[in-house]
Amino acid sequence: MTETRIERHHYDVVVIGAGGAGLRAAIEARLAGKRTAIISKSLFGKAHTVMAEGGAAAAMGNVNARDNWQVHFRDTMRGGKFLNNFRMAELHAKEAPQRIWELETYGALFDRTKDGKISQRNFGGHEYPRLAHVGDRTGLELIRTLQQKIVSLQQEDKREHGDYEARIKVFAETTITELLLDGDRVAGAFGYYRESGEFVLFEAPAVVLATGGVGRSYKVTSNSWEYTGDGHALALRAGATLINMEFLQFHPTGMVWPPSVKGILVTESVRGDGGVLKNSEGKRFMFDYVPDVFRKQYADNEAEADRWYKDPDNNRRPPELLPRDEVARAINSEVKEGRGTPAGGVYLDIASRLPAEEIRRRLPSMYHQFKELADVDITKEPMEVGPTCHYVMGGVEVDPDSGAAYGTVRGLFAAGEVSGGMHGSNRLGGNSLSDLLVFGKRAGGHAASYADQLAARPKVAVAAVEAAVETALAPLQRDTGESPYTLQQDLQAVMGDLVGIIRREGELVDALARLAELRERVAKVSAAGGRRYNPGWHLALDLRNMLVVSECTAKAALERQESRGGHTREDHPGMDPKWRRVNLVCALDGDVVRLTQKPLPAMRPELISLFDRAELAKYLTDEELAEFDALAEEER
């Protein structure tokens, strides 16, 4: 196999992923003076981040001056049902405003308040208007701004060194299939150019994973083909660990009709701006689904809920703005009880709530999307929506401050959706975009200083490269196996039907058995055609990543015997404080997924005292509450 041509590159920091997290990490590594490569499966500027609509959460207090990082921290912990890594939630809440303001110095143009500051909008789970936004295309603004910042750094390098790519280079349409190690240290990354099918090897002492999520394992998903869990799988195979893989967010309002656009999201701001959910009987049903923990903040009658839009200080919020998992579950049970729409969703109605002109002004791209894709005029008729697989809370277990992966590997960092812990069991809308910036910057910076500290560069072993080449070419050389498309459909069916939004023990056991079968079949997958831009081959290589990540999700979902956030067990419907103290950690042992329980780090005293005792009582064990009381006593 050594005769296969392999292009080689040397960098100090290799960033895998060109979404918000990857680009922010690369900027930081380059600013630290490192030679940096950015690698992306799609074209530059097309990563999944462009799809984010609602906004980026940061407690700048521009709209309501009472907002500050403590409130944001509290909302994040509440949203994640206290399973979040508290340190990550703290750093995120503290640093998000600076990261947003920084974007303005890169050229971003957010919508403004009357006094010229960045405007902030309401979003599910956030106590105050907090999401910096640009109409409903905030993700596009974020990625374009970072992309343009990278261009501006390249222009600097051109002036200084005569070459745009002297210190930072983008490898677009390039897929990494393997991380290469020297002992326990990262030595490089191996992959192929999608265009030509040629192989490429990046030798680098530090790698930042920013590969996004795993949604393509589900039938109904808002995620693109890129979301095959590559980063999760790369990390596992390199000896890192994953946490919280049982927690997947199903966005409550994806389009369910017409079929071609099934899964595409209807942004939460439709509800923030007055949209309401109705079942097929025309009833505004969310009032029936306000859980006890939220009674204080959410209205129990339509009149009060409607007043809130005008006067949020003196009224409780409409229940349509409950956290996503609550809304998704409510819709799910309405549909199951036969009060759904013909396509299996519920109605989201904004038409009868706002004048048409106002809808078009506030939600321009939603309006166009529905008009052009579905021929539905949202200013005239309600939309048909239902839960869609949207976001994975779980991911690479990292050190909260540096983004360095735990486990046995060194030199590996992770940021963005591929990392775990920050969002606990459920992510609040808008917290992801700010997460990308905060932890992207941290991971990039720490990867740079890690590369600095190394006495000698780790070396890539020839045998490892040969093995990577062989694995990559295998599907093309077999012609007896199944089509990758069939296998993907089967995988999606298993995950969608058996490890979906509501889970049961029997089904999870069944899912694991089927995944084991699929593993055999995926090992024998064959792809027709050659190496040049061959999507069948690309999918064949992605399948093994999707599979191992799905196994993690199914195993962890079986183990966690409670319902919390993005994990709902019908056979264990309540939240159990004992389970709150536990993270489920996945590691690879050979090629078998091993699951271990690990205690959650305890919140620092000054952070836990930001909460009411009454609120904590819903989440904590008696033992923990006693500690809290002792603490309060001390302070007095």
Partner 1 sequence: MGTEPKQTPGKPGGKRQFRIWRGDETGGDLQDYQVEVNEGEVVLDVIHRLQATDAPDLACRWNCKAGKCGSCSMEINGKPRLSCMTRMSTFDETETVTVTPLRTFPVIRDLVTDVSFNYEKARETPAFAPPADVAPGDYRMQQVDVERSQEFRKCIECFLCQNVCHVIRDHEENKPAFSGPRFFIRAAELDMHPLDARTDRKEYAQAEMGLGFCNITKCCTEVCPEHIKITDNGIIPMKERVVDRRYDPLVWLGSKIFRRGQVPQTSVTSGHSSGAVTGSPVHGGLHSHAGGSHDAQAERQAQQGVNWHREVPHPTAPAVDVNGKLPLTELTFDRAAAPSPFGDDVTFPLPPEHLNFAHPQQDEPKH
Ligand X SMILES: Cc1cc2nc3c(=O)[nH]c(=O)nc-3n(C[C@H](O)[C@H](O)[C@H](O)COP(=O)(O)OP(=O)(O)OC[C@H]3O[C@@H](n4cnc5c(N)ncnc54)[C@H](O)[C@@H]3O)c2cc1C
| Alpha carbon 333 to chain centroid, angstroms | 25
In terms of CB distance, is 52 or 468 closer to ligand X?
52
Tokens standing for residue 51: 């799809």
The set of long-range contacts for 63-68, using a CB threshold of 8 Å and a minimum separation of 24, is 63/113, 63/119, 63/120, 63/121, 63/128, 63/129, 64/120, 64/128, 64/129, 66/128, 67/127, 67/128, 67/129, 67/130
State in angstroms the smallest separation of the CB of 23 from ligand X. Answer: 8
Check: CB of residue 502 under 8 Å from CB of residue 219: no
Q: Which of 14, 21, 348, 385 binds ligand X (CB under 6 A)?
A: 21
Is 271 known to be catalytic?
Answer: yes
219: which strand partners?
A: none
Q: Which of 118, 150, 187, 210 binds ligand X (CB under 6 A)?
A: 210
44 is a site residue for partner 1 (CB under 8 A):
yes
85 makes contact with ligand X (CB under 6 A): no
Q: Is there binding between residue 154 and partner 1 (CB under 8 A)? A: yes
Q: How far apart are CA 36 and CA 147, in angstroms?
A: 14
Q: How many residues does the chain have?
A: 636
Binder of residue 85, out of partner 1, ligand X, none (CB less than 5 to 8 A by kind): none
- When CB distances are held under 5 to 8 angstroms depending on the partner's kind, the choice from ligand X, partner 1, none that residue 535 binds is partner 1
Does position 95 bind partner 1 by CB under 8 A?
Answer: no
Interface with partner 1 in residues 259-298 (CB under 8 A): 259-262, 264
- Contact call for residue 63 and partner 1 (CB under 8 A): no
Region of residue 352 (left: phi > 0; alpha: psi -120 to 50; beta: else)? alpha
Measured from the CB atom, the residue of 84 and 341 that comes closer to partner 1 is 341
> Is residue 251 annotated as part of the catalytic site, yes or no?
yes
Distances (CA, A) of 44 to 146, 203, 377, 534, 588: 11, 22, 33, 19, 32
Query: Could you say whether residue 358 binds partner 1 (CB under 8 A)?
Result: no
Site for ligand X in 315-344 (CB under 6 A): none
* Among residues 11, 14, 22, 86, the one that binds ligand X under rule CB under 6 A: 22
Contact pattern from residue 162 through residue 181 relative to partner 1, giving x for each residue in contact according to CB under 8 A and a dash for the rest = --x-------x---------
Scanning residues 101 to 140, which ones bind ligand X (CB under 6 A)?
A: 139
First to last CA, the chain: 72
- Which one, of 330, 224, 313, 227, lies nearest residue 271 by Cα? 330
**Least distance (Å) between residue 245 CB and partner 1:** 19
Q: Please report, as residue ranges, which positions from 165 to 184 form the binding site for ligand X (by CB under 6 A).
A: 175-176
Interaction of residue 18 with ligand X, rule CB under 6 A: yes
Q: Which residues contact 526 (CB under 8 A, 6 or more apart)?
A: 475, 476, 478, 479, 480, 481, 482, 483, 540
Please give the sequence-ordered ranges of beta strands (E in DSSP) within 393-476, or none if there are none.
395-396, 412-414
Contacts (CB under 6 A) with ligand X, residues 383-442: 390-391, 416-418, 429-433, 436
* Shortest distance, position 361 Cβ to partner 1, whole Å: 11
d(CA 63, CA 14): 39
Q: By C-beta, is 137 or 307 nearer to partner 1?
A: 137
Among residues 92, 121, 185, 251, which one is catalytic? 251
**SS3 of residue 27 by DSSP:** helix
Cβ closer to ligand X: 176 or 557? Answer: 176
Number of neighbouring beta carbons within 10 Å of residue 301: 9
Q: Is residue 137 involved in binding partner 1 (CB under 8 A)?
A: yes
Asked whether position 212 contacts ligand X by CB under 6 A, the answer is yes
8 Å CB contact between 419 and 440? no
544 is a site residue for partner 1 (CB under 8 A): no
Strand (E) positions, 137-247?
A: 168-171, 174-182, 185-193, 199-203, 206-209, 242-243
Give the residue carrying structure tokens 């910057």.
Answer: 441
Selecting among 271, 316, 514, 572, the annotated active-site residue is 271
Residues that bind ligand X in the complex, under the rule CB under 6 A: 16-22, 39-42, 47-49, 51-56, 139, 175-176, 191, 210-212, 222-223, 226, 230-231, 265, 390-391, 416-418, 429-433, 436
Residues with catalytic roles: 251, 271
